[in-house]
Amino acid sequence: MQTNPPDSVVSLSTPKGSVPSDASVVILGGGVIGTSIAFHLAEAGATGVVLIERNLLGSGSSSKPLGGVRATFSDPGNIMLGQRSLEAFENFGEKFRTDIGLEQVGYLFLCSDENALLDVEESSKIQRNLGGSSQMLSPRQISEINPFIDTSSLLGASFSPRDGFAQPSKVVHAYAQAAQQLGVTILQDTEVLDIDATGHQVRTVHTSRGAIGTSSVICAAGAWSARLGAMADVYLPVEPVRRQIGLTRQSPEPLPKVPFTLDLATTLYFHNYRNGLLLGISNQDQEPGFCREFTYGWLDSFNRAAAITAPSLVDPDLEAGWAGLYENTPDRNALIGKSHDVDGFFYATGFSGHGFLQAPAVGELMRDIWLDREAFMDFAPFAADRFAGDAATVREVHII
Ligand SMILES: Cc1cc2nc3c(=O)[nH]c(=O)nc-3n(C[C@H](O)[C@H](O)[C@H](O)COP(=O)(O)OP(=O)(O)OC[C@H]3O[C@@H](n4cnc5c(N)ncnc54)[C@H](O)[C@@H]3O)c2cc1C
């Protein structure tokens, strides 16, 4: 059984030796979010940008074989991040001269109860009002576009043809390489050990390879962000939760090409990967924690769900499987903004399982927040301090 994802290696040569003594900004974390921010800052002409990654680029949650990309959400902010990112993914080949394996097969969100159907109908409307093309399908139409589905328990589904999936490692590589060419110092095998924010102002980032004097940091450390925030006394409520996926044995013949399909009732999901299927479920029995070891524990709940939604997928014949971390916030929506308590502490984290699909837009947004210029959307609802006091949290239907 293979437990290292294919197509996940991000190979980029980066400097060894000691770190620069100062920087205008230090980006903490070299996943898809950190590298996107680095690229967008450098593209806008920022100088003195340093990105620090403890291991190899993409070795956190961004190294999964395939990442779903979509603008299917109910919250307008999430929809805008998704739409803006879809546009960027569509233009990626031309802009970065690389193939990120984008396949716009659409997303299918299955509904089996009246409330879910009403919610999904409403979010389809919001998406269309913002320029999206999501539409509602009947059970008969669902079986036409996804023959794996047993529609007997279903009332309908939303289908958004522009969505799909792509390869996160290719995106990380393209952003990192372009950022490096534009002058960003990218350091791998370099761990952030502490952040000096004496007097409520970021002053120094202490790393395993020396100290960097800086007046600002951007935390893009995914599931590990709470620890980095705590170093500077900034509360970032991000909880790591293991999420596992399996890949079925490659069949000699291509399988029917289906949309990225998610069942809202059971949280089962699957989509094509070459001549197999990538499949998984949001396992409600999974305790929070940093464990990234692959096990078969999630298969029981997957099989129970598949028996209802996609009976031919019960007891899948797996040739590979991977475990990674979701970086969950209390309302399962991102933390994007800057600290009001510590000057110079910015953050883009807590994407709760949809960080890949939002990464291009978040890079743009964080560039504008850091440069203090007008952004393409209002990021205030994603502030981390929404969990303090009575501030409204973000409600999102399309999260599993
Ligand atoms: C099984 C699975 C399936 C998923 N499917 C999807 C999907 O379909 N679509 C989607 O959009 N998203 C999906 N996600 C979520 C997505 O992978 C993440 O939201 C995204 O990769 C987060 O990127 P990031 O850059 O914030 O974090 P990461 O990629 O985790 O990067 C953070 C980096 O910070 C580094 N770091 C941590 N601490 C330190 C330190 N002290 N010093 C230096 N560096 C440090 C880590 O090594 C890591 O490389 C999935 C996740 C999993 C696990």
Per-residue tokens: 376? 């393409």
- Pair (140, 281) in one structural domain: yes
The CATH number that applies at residue 179 is 3.50.50.60
Residue 234 lies in a domain: yes
Residue of the nearest CA to atom 27 in ligand 1? 222
User: In this predicted structure, what is the pLDDT of residue 317?
Assistant: 95
Q: Examine the domain organization and report whether 300 and 265 are in the same domain.
A: yes
Taking the C-alpha atoms of residue 261 and residue 240, their distance in angstroms, rounded to an integer, is 24
The phi and psi torsions of 16 (rounded to 5 degrees) equal -100, -175
Q: For residue 357, how far is its CA from the centre of ligand 1 (angstroms)?
A: 12
| 356 lies in the same domain as 374 | yes
- pLDDT confidence band for 18 (50 / 70 / 90): confident
Q: Whose CA is nearest to atom 15 of ligand 1?
A: 353
C-alpha 99 – ligand 1 centre gap (Å):
21
pLDDT band at 243 (very low <50, low <70, confident <90, very high): very high
- Picking from 307, 303, 304, the residue whose alpha carbon sits closest to that of residue 316 is 303
Across residues 292-300, what is the average pLDDT? 92
Mutate to test the pocket of ligand 1, among 64, 206, 346, 349 (most ligand atoms within 8 A of CB): 64
Question: What is the pLDDT at residue 14?
Answer: 84
- Indicate whether 372 belongs to any domain: yes
- Cα separation, 202 vs 222, in Å, equals 20
The pLDDT score that the predictor gives to residue 64 is 73
Per the model's pLDDT, the better-predicted residue between 399 and 71 turns out to be: 71
**pLDDT digit string, tens, across residues 302-344:** 999 999 999 999 999 999 999 999 999 999 999 999 999 999 9
219 and 183 inside one domain: yes
Rounded to whole angstroms, the Cα distance separating 76 from 81 reads 9
- Asked if residue 78 belongs to a domain, the reply is no
pTM above 0.95, yes or no: yes
- CATH of residue 131's domain is 3.30.9.10
Domain presence at residue 202: yes
Task: Please check whether residues 266 and 201 belong to one and the same domain.
Answer: no
What residue's CA is closest to ligand 1, atom 39? 54
- Do 226 and 269 share a structural domain? no
Question: Could you say which of 282, 299, 328 is where a domain stops?
Answer: 328
The best mutation among 28, 39, 61 to test binding of ligand 1, ranked by most ligand atoms within 8 Å of the C-beta, falls on 61
Tens of pLDDT, residue by residue over 175-205, are: 999 999 999 999 999 999 999 999 999 999 9
pLDDT of residue 7: 64
| 362, 81 Cβ separation under 8 angstroms | yes
User: For residue 82, is it within any domain?
Assistant: no
What is the atom index within ligand 1 of the atom nearest the CA of 193? 41
Same domain, 43 and 149: no
Among the three residues 328, 354, 376, which one is the final residue of a domain in this structure?
A: 328
Whether 94 has a pLDDT exceeding 90, the answer reads: yes
Tell me how far the alpha carbon of residue 86 lies from the centroid of ligand 1, in angstroms: 19
Ligand 1 centroid–CA 291 distance in Å is: 14
Atom of ligand 1 minimally distant from the CA of 327? 19
pLDDT at 128 > cutoff 90: yes
**Residue 263: which pLDDT band, with cuts at 50, 70 and 90?**
very high
Task: Mark whether 121 and 268 lie in a shared domain.
Answer: yes
Mean pLDDT, residues 226-251: 96
Q: What is the pLDDT of residue 153?
A: 94
Ligand 1, atom 31, residue with closest C-alpha: 31
Domain match, 382 and 336 both: yes
Q: Which residues contact 80 (CB under 8 A, 6 or more apart)?
A: 130, 361, 376, 377
Pocket residue to mutate for ligand 1, from 207, 279, 356, most atoms within 8 A of Cβ: 356
Instruction: Evaluate whether residue 393 is within a structural domain.
Output: no
The pLDDT, as a whole number, for residue 226 is 98
Q: Calculate mean pLDDT across residues 235-252.
A: 95
Report the share of the chain in percent with pLDDT over 90.
Answer: 91
Q: 318 and 247, same structural domain?
A: yes
Protein residue with least CA distance to atom 22, ligand 1: 355
Is the residue at 262 inside a domain? yes
Same domain as 322, residue 276? yes
The per-residue pLDDT for range 36-77, each reduced to its tens digit, is: 999 999 999 999 999 999 999 999 999 776 799 999 999 999
The torsion angle over the Cα atoms of residues 39, 44, 45 and 49, rounded to 10 degrees, is: -40
Residue 285's domain comprises 107-161+241-328
In this predicted structure, what is the pLDDT of residue 9?
A: 64
The predicted structure's pLDDT at residue 5: 66
Residue whose CA is at the smallest distance from ligand 1 atom 41: 192
In this structure, the answer to whether residues 206 and 344 fall within a common structural domain is: yes
Dist CA 313 CA 277 (whole Å): 9
The DSSP 8-state label assigned to residue 296 in this structure reads S
Mean pLDDT calculated for residue range 363-378: 97
Cα 190 to averaged position of ligand 1 atoms, centre (Å) = 17
Last residue of a domain, one of 311, 328, 345: 328
pLDDT of residue 6: 62
- Please give the pLDDT value at position 8: 65
Please, what is the average pLDDT of the chain? 95
What residues are in contact with ligand 1 under a 6 Å CB criterion? 28-34, 52-55, 59-62, 64, 67-68, 191-192, 220-224, 228, 243, 245, 324-327, 349, 351, 353-357
Q: How many domains does the chain have?
A: 2
Q: What angle is formed at CA 334 by the lines to CA 331 and CA 335, rounded to 5 degrees?
A: 105
Please state the atom number of ligand 1 nearest to the C-alpha of residue 244.
Answer: 1
Query: Is residue 132 in some structural domain?
Result: yes
